[in-house]
Amino acid sequence: MAQPDLTIYHNSRCSKSRGALELLREQGIEPTIINYLDQPPTVDLLRELLAKLGLGPRDVLRRGEAAYRERGLADPTLTDAQVLAAIAAEPRLLERPIVVSGDRAVLARPPERVLELLVD
């Protein structure tokens, strides 16, 4: 079986992100690693990721971050475009890790969710 082509949007300071990466490596998979704090995703990339995840912008927000409160992201009147712009401007607001395989993706919380991408 060919090794799947996986990409992980990773934060090395996050235990869940490290755990997902470790699980992939235990399966003999070395994914493409994107340190999304250093390479923030664009709004277009965020839209693409959300489509693959089957989630909305609010589903991937880290509500415990100071930036969540500072930017008033709890406001239910904010549009998806406004939420996406906030995540693109402050990538620490993005829940992690997100692991992508082709047209599928998982938010690997818990990290074991990455294994879902390894089955057809």
All domains of the chain, ordered by start, with CATH? Answer: 6-118 (3.40.30.10)
pLDDT digits (tens, 9 = 90+) for 81-104: 999 999 999 999 999 999 999 999
CA dist 76 and 84 (Å) reads 14
- pLDDT at residue 88, rounded to an integer: 97
Q: What is residue 61's three-state secondary structure?
A: strand
Identify the residue whose tokens are 């390479």.
39
pLDDT digits (tens, 9 = 90+) for 39-65: 999 999 999 999 999 999 999 999 999
Query: Does residue 14 carry a catalytic annotation?
Result: yes
CA dist 93 and 64 (Å) reads 9
Annotated catalytic residue within 4, 7, 14, 82: 14
CB 41 within 8 A of CB 89: no
- pLDDT at residue 4, rounded to an integer: 73
The terminus-to-terminus CA distance of the chain in angstroms comes to 12
